[in-house]
């Protein structure tokens, strides 16, 4: 979830922003501050209740928090009137600078693939070593067989 100050954006700019966000499965909602504070009670968003002041728009992503931060910051870079106030990722409030660091991370799928490759590397090496040992044993037995047959 990323909090923005949308004051100064035209209706056309907000429509364009929502269209861009929708392509990445991100919802963008303008919220009523009082209702948002009440709704945030007893949720992971409660850490950011002070963000609900002034004009607040909320970008919500359900799959990958990196994509949400990346898309919002990309749009904000092209439109100086959109200000990123901060965000909540996994129950922790992040300032705008911290969101920039999150946005620089690779997508979730790439991180999972890297982790899987890192975890699989020792097993792959072990399997290769065991196979090499078995091959050497086979070569030795074959050489012994040929030596005894002569």
Residues 117 and 99 in one domain: no
Residues 94 and 117 in one domain: no
Do 68 and 24 lie in one domain? The reply is yes
pTM: 0.66
- Within 8 A by CB and 6+ apart from 69, the residues are 2, 87, 89, 99, 100, 102, 103
89 and 122 assigned to the same domain? no
98 and 122 fall within a common domain: no
42 and 101 within one domain: yes
Q: Which domain holds residue 121?
A: 108-150
pLDDT tens sequence for the chain (150 residues): 899 988 888 889 889 999 999 998 999 988 888 888 888 888 877 777 778 888 888 999 888 888 888 999 989 888 888 888 888 888 888 888 888 888 888 777 787 888 888 888 888 778 777 777 788 878 888 888 888 887
CATH number reported for the structural domain that contains residue 53 in this entry: 3.30.70.1730
Structural domain total, the chain: 2
**Residue 89, C-beta contacts closer than 8 angstroms, at least 6 positions apart:** 1, 65, 69, 102
């Amino acid at each position: 979830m990323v909090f923005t100050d949308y004051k100064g954006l035209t209706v056309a700019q907000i429509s364009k922003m929502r269209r861009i966000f929708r392509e990445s499965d991100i919802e963008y909602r303008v919220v009523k501050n009082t209702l948002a504070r009440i709704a945030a009670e007893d949720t992971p968003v409660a850490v950011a209740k002070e963000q609900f002041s002034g004009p607040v728009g909320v970008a919500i992503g359900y799959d990958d928090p990196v994509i949400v931060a990346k898309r919002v910051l990309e749009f904000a870079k092209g439109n100086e009137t959109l200000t990123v106030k901060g965000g909540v990722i996994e129950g922790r409030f992040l300032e705008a600078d911290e969101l920039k660091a999150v946005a620089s991370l690779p997508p979730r799928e790439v991180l999972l693939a890297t982790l899987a490759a890192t975890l699989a590397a020792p097993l792959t090496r072990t399997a290769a070593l065991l196979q090499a040992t078995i091959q050497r044993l086979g070569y030795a037995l074959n050489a012994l067989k040929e030596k005894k047959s002569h």
